[in-house]
Amino acid sequence: MVNVIILFPKVEVGKSIRSLLMKNGIEVTTVCSTGAQVVSCIDNLDAGLVICGYQYVDMVYTELLSYLPDTFEMLLLASQNRRSEIDETGVVCMGMPFKAYELVENVQYMLKRIYRNYKERKEQPKVRSEEELSIISHAKIILMDKGAMTEEEAHRYLQKKSMDCGTSLVATARDILDIY
Protein backbone atom coordinates (compact mmCIF):
# COMPACT_ATOMS: atom_id res chain seq x y z
CA MET A 1 0.00 0.00 0.00
CA VAL A 2 1.19 3.51 -0.79
CA ASN A 3 0.89 5.91 2.13
CA VAL A 4 0.55 9.69 2.07
CA ILE A 5 2.12 11.69 4.89
CA ILE A 6 1.66 15.43 5.16
CA LEU A 7 4.23 17.53 7.03
CA PHE A 8 3.86 21.21 7.84
CA PRO A 9 4.97 23.10 10.97
CA LYS A 10 1.45 24.52 11.25
CA VAL A 11 -0.90 21.57 11.72
CA GLU A 12 -3.82 23.61 10.35
CA VAL A 13 -2.09 23.84 6.93
CA GLY A 14 -1.51 20.09 6.91
CA LYS A 15 -5.11 19.39 7.86
CA SER A 16 -6.45 21.62 5.11
CA ILE A 17 -4.29 19.81 2.53
CA ARG A 18 -5.46 16.48 3.95
CA SER A 19 -9.06 17.62 3.61
CA LEU A 20 -8.49 18.65 0.00
CA LEU A 21 -6.87 15.33 -0.89
CA MET A 22 -9.49 13.24 0.89
CA LYS A 23 -12.30 15.09 -0.91
CA ASN A 24 -10.63 13.93 -4.13
CA GLY A 25 -10.36 10.29 -3.06
CA ILE A 26 -6.75 10.26 -1.86
CA GLU A 27 -6.32 8.55 1.51
CA VAL A 28 -3.93 10.36 3.87
CA THR A 29 -2.12 8.25 6.46
CA THR A 30 -1.16 11.02 8.86
CA VAL A 31 -0.47 14.72 9.30
CA CYS A 32 2.75 15.64 11.14
CA SER A 33 4.28 18.88 12.38
CA THR A 34 7.92 17.78 12.80
CA GLY A 35 10.39 15.85 10.68
CA ALA A 36 11.03 13.45 13.56
CA GLN A 37 7.38 12.40 13.54
CA VAL A 38 7.64 11.57 9.83
CA VAL A 39 10.85 9.58 10.34
CA SER A 40 9.28 7.48 13.09
CA CYS A 41 6.13 6.99 11.02
CA ILE A 42 7.90 5.76 7.88
CA ASP A 43 9.68 3.02 9.83
CA ASN A 44 6.40 1.09 9.88
CA LEU A 45 5.39 1.73 6.25
CA ASP A 46 6.35 0.08 2.97
CA ALA A 47 6.09 2.91 0.46
CA GLY A 48 4.66 6.36 0.21
CA LEU A 49 4.68 10.04 -0.51
CA VAL A 50 5.64 12.84 1.86
CA ILE A 51 3.96 16.16 1.04
CA CYS A 52 5.78 18.89 2.91
CA GLY A 53 6.98 22.44 3.14
CA TYR A 54 10.53 23.74 2.97
CA GLN A 55 11.38 24.05 6.67
CA TYR A 56 10.07 22.49 9.91
CA VAL A 57 10.71 23.01 13.61
CA ASP A 58 13.47 20.39 13.78
CA MET A 59 14.94 20.18 10.25
CA VAL A 60 14.73 21.30 6.63
CA TYR A 61 13.50 19.24 3.70
CA THR A 62 17.02 18.09 2.65
CA GLU A 63 17.57 16.44 6.03
CA LEU A 64 14.21 14.70 5.85
CA LEU A 65 14.98 13.60 2.30
CA SER A 66 18.14 11.85 3.57
CA TYR A 67 16.00 9.82 6.02
CA LEU A 68 13.49 8.66 3.41
CA PRO A 69 13.94 5.12 2.06
CA ASP A 70 13.97 4.45 -1.69
CA THR A 71 10.29 3.50 -1.60
CA PHE A 72 9.28 7.02 -0.52
CA GLU A 73 9.14 10.19 -2.57
CA MET A 74 8.74 13.82 -1.60
CA LEU A 75 6.46 16.52 -2.98
CA LEU A 76 7.70 19.86 -1.76
CA LEU A 77 5.38 22.86 -1.57
CA ALA A 78 7.55 25.97 -1.44
CA SER A 79 7.52 29.63 -2.38
CA GLN A 80 8.54 30.62 -5.88
CA ASN A 81 11.82 32.22 -4.77
CA ARG A 82 13.06 28.88 -3.29
CA ARG A 83 12.33 26.83 -6.42
CA SER A 84 15.73 27.41 -8.08
CA GLU A 85 17.68 25.84 -5.20
CA ILE A 86 15.14 23.01 -4.84
CA ASP A 87 15.28 22.00 -8.50
CA GLU A 88 18.93 21.01 -8.02
CA THR A 89 18.03 18.32 -5.45
CA GLY A 90 15.77 16.35 -7.80
CA VAL A 91 12.74 16.70 -5.52
CA VAL A 92 9.36 17.33 -7.15
CA CYS A 93 8.38 20.85 -6.20
CA MET A 94 5.21 22.87 -6.58
CA GLY A 95 5.34 26.64 -6.20
CA MET A 96 3.02 28.30 -3.75
CA PRO A 97 0.39 29.50 -4.12
CA PHE A 98 -0.97 26.61 -6.20
CA LYS A 99 -4.32 25.57 -7.58
CA ALA A 100 -6.11 22.73 -5.81
CA TYR A 101 -6.53 20.65 -8.94
CA GLU A 102 -2.78 20.94 -9.69
CA LEU A 103 -1.93 19.50 -6.30
CA VAL A 104 -4.42 16.66 -6.67
CA GLU A 105 -3.14 15.80 -10.17
CA ASN A 106 0.50 15.84 -9.03
CA VAL A 107 -0.26 13.65 -6.02
CA GLN A 108 -2.25 11.16 -8.10
CA TYR A 109 0.53 10.94 -10.68
CA MET A 110 3.21 10.45 -8.04
CA LEU A 111 1.17 7.82 -6.17
CA LYS A 112 0.71 5.82 -9.39
CA ARG A 113 4.45 5.97 -10.06
CA ILE A 114 5.35 4.98 -6.48
CA TYR A 115 2.87 2.09 -6.57
CA ARG A 116 4.21 0.85 -9.92
CA ASN A 117 7.83 0.99 -8.67
CA TYR A 118 6.89 -0.70 -5.39
CA LYS A 119 5.05 -3.46 -7.24
CA GLU A 120 8.04 -4.03 -9.55
CA ARG A 121 10.37 -4.36 -6.55
CA LYS A 122 8.06 -6.88 -4.91
CA GLU A 123 7.89 -8.98 -8.10
CA GLN A 124 11.66 -9.29 -8.44
CA PRO A 125 12.86 -12.74 -7.44
CA LYS A 126 14.55 -12.98 -4.08
CA VAL A 127 18.29 -13.63 -4.22
CA ARG A 128 19.27 -16.44 -1.88
CA SER A 129 22.59 -16.69 -0.06
CA GLU A 130 24.96 -19.62 -0.47
CA GLU A 131 23.90 -20.93 2.94
CA GLU A 132 20.22 -20.89 1.98
CA LEU A 133 20.93 -22.61 -1.34
CA SER A 134 22.92 -25.27 0.54
CA ILE A 135 20.04 -25.91 2.97
CA ILE A 136 17.58 -26.30 0.09
CA SER A 137 19.86 -28.66 -1.84
CA HIS A 138 20.51 -30.82 1.26
CA ALA A 139 16.76 -31.07 1.88
CA LYS A 140 16.24 -32.09 -1.76
CA ILE A 141 18.92 -34.77 -1.45
CA ILE A 142 17.21 -36.18 1.65
CA LEU A 143 13.84 -36.19 -0.13
CA MET A 144 15.40 -37.89 -3.15
CA ASP A 145 16.95 -40.60 -0.95
CA LYS A 146 14.03 -41.17 1.43
CA GLY A 147 11.13 -40.56 -0.96
CA ALA A 148 12.58 -41.99 -4.18
CA MET A 149 12.03 -38.68 -5.97
CA THR A 150 13.83 -36.92 -8.76
CA GLU A 151 15.38 -33.55 -8.03
CA GLU A 152 12.50 -31.80 -9.79
CA GLU A 153 9.93 -33.74 -7.75
CA ALA A 154 11.78 -32.96 -4.54
CA HIS A 155 11.84 -29.27 -5.42
CA ARG A 156 8.11 -29.27 -6.21
CA TYR A 157 7.45 -31.09 -2.93
CA LEU A 158 9.38 -28.40 -1.03
CA GLN A 159 7.48 -25.65 -2.86
CA LYS A 160 4.10 -27.26 -2.15
CA LYS A 161 4.86 -27.80 1.55
CA SER A 162 6.15 -24.23 1.77
CA MET A 163 2.92 -22.82 0.30
CA ASP A 164 0.69 -25.13 2.38
CA CYS A 165 2.40 -24.11 5.62
CA GLY A 166 2.80 -20.45 4.67
CA THR A 167 6.53 -20.51 5.27
CA SER A 168 9.50 -19.74 3.08
CA LEU A 169 11.19 -22.42 1.01
CA VAL A 170 14.29 -22.19 3.22
CA ALA A 171 12.25 -22.63 6.43
CA THR A 172 10.53 -25.69 4.95
CA ALA A 173 13.90 -27.12 3.92
CA ARG A 174 15.22 -26.57 7.46
CA ASP A 175 12.18 -28.41 8.86
CA ILE A 176 12.92 -31.38 6.61
CA LEU A 177 16.57 -31.36 7.70
CA ASP A 178 15.44 -31.30 11.34
CA ILE A 179 13.07 -34.24 10.81
CA TYR A 180 15.69 -36.40 9.13
Whole-angstrom distance, CA of residue 65 vs CA of residue 75: 10
Q: How confident is the model at residue 81 (pLDDT cuts 50, 70, 90)?
A: confident
CA 31 from chain centre, in angstroms, equals: 18
Whole-angstrom distance, CA of residue 24 vs CA of residue 53: 21
Whole-angstrom distance, CA of residue 175 vs CA of residue 180: 9
14 has pLDDT over 90:
yes
- Global pTM value: 0.70
CA 34 from chain centre, in angstroms, equals: 21
CATH of region 130-179: 1.10.10.10
* Confidence at residue 88, expressed as pLDDT on a 0 to 100 scale: 63
* Confidence at residue 87, expressed as pLDDT on a 0 to 100 scale: 65
CATH of region 2-123: 3.40.50.2300
Chain region(s) in the chain for CATH 1.10.10.10: 130-179
Whole-angstrom distance, CA of residue 93 vs CA of residue 86: 7
Contact 6, 52 (CB under 8 A): yes
* Confidence at residue 86, expressed as pLDDT on a 0 to 100 scale: 74
DSSP state of 44: T
* Confidence at residue 83, expressed as pLDDT on a 0 to 100 scale: 72
65 has pLDDT over 70:
yes
141 has pLDDT over 90:
yes
* Confidence at residue 179, expressed as pLDDT on a 0 to 100 scale: 86
DSSP state of 60: B
pLDDT digits (tens, 9 = 90+) for 87-134: 666 789 998 889 999 999 999 999 999 999 988 888 877 788 899 999
Contact 106, 92 (CB under 8 A): yes
Whole-angstrom distance, CA of residue 32 vs CA of residue 178: 49
Chain region(s) in the chain for CATH 3.40.50.2300: 2-123
Mean pLDDT of 37-47: 92
Mean pLDDT of 78-85: 78
Q: How confident is the model at residue 164 (pLDDT cuts 50, 70, 90)?
A: confident
Mean pLDDT of 25-37: 95
Whole-angstrom distance, CA of residue 6 vs CA of residue 76: 10
Contact 158, 173 (CB under 8 A): yes
Whole-angstrom distance, CA of residue 35 vs CA of residue 57: 8
* Confidence at residue 20, expressed as pLDDT on a 0 to 100 scale: 96
Mean pLDDT is lowest, of 1-5, 56-60, 71-75, 119-123, for: 119-123
* Confidence at residue 44, expressed as pLDDT on a 0 to 100 scale: 87
